[in-house]
Chain A
Amino acid sequence: MTDKQQDKQLVEDQAFIDSLYEELADETGKANEEPPSEQLDQRILAAAHKAVASKPTLQKNRNWFYPIATAASAILMITLVGHQIYSPVTENVEMPLALTDSVPSTDNDKHTFSTNEITAMDTSLFEPPLASEASFVSEEERATTGKHAVKMQASAEKQITRQASQQAKQSKAKRSSMKQEAEMTAKKSVQEKQKVYPATKPIPLTKQQYLALESESKEQSLDWILLLETETNYIIELQHFDNQKSYYLLQKQQFQLDNTSKSAPKSFSEIQLQ
């Protein structure tokens, strides 16, 4: 069938169907009238009215909500930017926290010497001048402390530099003065640290160390003074023949000593291994 024939057929078919629809319309006035129920009408109209009735309320809300939200955001932004630009840089340098690392650690300590315990000690015992304190510190510890100090200084510098870079508007002169200030603070805090804490911590006395010291005491004089007695430990100061001092932590379970007098030096041989 050609296109023309198809179109002709289509027109004829359509005319036939149209004639049927017209026939129905002539008879009833309206073709195939099947109205939806009134209930449906009411439901739909009610939904339509409700939908637009709720809209003005929303717009009302928006009227005050958006300006206030925008203003609040702007204020927040300005505050943050202002804080970033004008707040001092080095007030909260973290060096003092980091400096605690410079205190030599005793990883093999069974009993860690807490700050409270140290404070509880007779502070006069730990008050010799810095120079003599330094003599207690072994070469290795001294080197470690030095490294830490250098490290801390470097990290402080880094931090200052980082913060300073965020404040591009600040002058170079101000930045360098801040840096110097930070260095001074670092040094100061190191000094303070050394004052507060002893340069060395009591070392837990092991059996081997005890035996070694015992044999040393037979050859040279080796006296000790009881510094502190706790429930489980003694802390003693060991005075070597060359006037060097070292501190030891003795566990009561392992060692027995005369704890009656604290000030008088006693011979190392009086310390007994249990």
Chain B
Amino acid sequence: MNNQDQQKQDQCLMLAYAKGDAGAFDQLYGKHKQAVFRFFIRQNLSNAIAEELCHDTWLKLINNRENYQVTALFSTFLFTIARRIAIDYSQNKSVTLERQQADNKSEGDISQLAKSEVAAQEHATDNQTLAEALKQQIASLPFEQREVFLLKQEAGFSLEDIAQITAQNKEKVKSSWRYALQKMRKGLRFYDR
């Protein structure tokens, strides 16, 4: 089944759920729960918080089921909600705390990244280390770039879809994507062969 068919199926399932078919939701959830959860966990959030935000996202989708229109792709609809939840969460947290975390991160990340680079260099073939290094590099990206990177690389959206989800210009999304890739490659250069 190609991507278009999948999208159509998702749309049908969502419409069926909006009409009261709970089974349709079970299928949708099974298909997309992983992507949504990964979207949050990659935001450098703890497991518990990522789960909580996941819960909020799906709950919002449940409550807004009747507002879903066929014109929007289901995944776009879903990730638009997820993104808003992520932004709300970051705004609700005090800016100071975020800054502190950012400062700590920038200081700690340098040392951590340096350490991980060293560790990665030592165990370059170790996939667990690669996974960890990827995670850290994603977490160290600025919010806009991280958001675009996750939606593109992890959730598989096109730049057009991301522009729609984030309500931004496509060129800006492309620019964020480019910078995100540059930083990721730079951070993971020891894997570059």
Q: Which residues of A contact B134 (CB under 8 A)?
A: 20-21, 24, 32
Considering the complex, which residues of chain A in the window 27-50 have a beta carbon less than 8 Å from any beta carbon of chain B?
27-28, 32-37, 40-41, 43-45, 47-49
Q: Which of A14, A20, A48 contacts B130 (CB 8 A)?
A: A20
Shortest Cβ distance from B183 into A: residue: A13
> Does A253 interact with chain B (Cβ within 8 Å)?
no
Interface residue stretch chosen among B34-42, B71-79, B104-112: B34-42
Report Cα–Cα, A88/B169, bound state, in Å.
71
Q: Which residues of B contact A40 (CB under 8 A)?
A: 51, 54-55
Report Cα–Cα, A155/B65, bound state, in Å.
63
Q: Please classify the interface of chain B as helix (H, G, I), strand (E, B), loop, or mixed, using the class held by over half of its residues.
A: helix
Contacts A20-B130, A27-B127, A40-B55 known; A33 to B22 CB distance under 8 Å? no
Q: Which of B62, B185, B191 contacts A51 (CB 8 A)?
A: B62
In this complex, the member of A6, A17, A33, A41 whose beta carbon has the largest number of chain B beta carbons within 10 angstroms is A17
CB-based contact B182/A44 at 8 Å:
no
Q: Which of A17, A24, A28, A35 contacts B34 (CB 8 A)?
A: A35
Report Cα–Cα, A231/B59, bound state, in Å.
82
CB-based contact A16/B55 at 8 Å:
no
Shortest Cβ distance from A14 into B: residue: B181
Q: Which of B38, B63, B188 contacts A34 (CB 8 A)?
A: B38
Report Cα–Cα, A20/B137, bound state, in Å.
13
Q: Which residues of A contact B178 (CB under 8 A)?
A: 6, 9-10, 13
A: residues with CB less than 8 A from B are 6, 9-10, 13-14, 16-17, 20-21, 23-24, 27-28, 32-37, 40-41, 43-45, 47-49, 51-53, 55-56
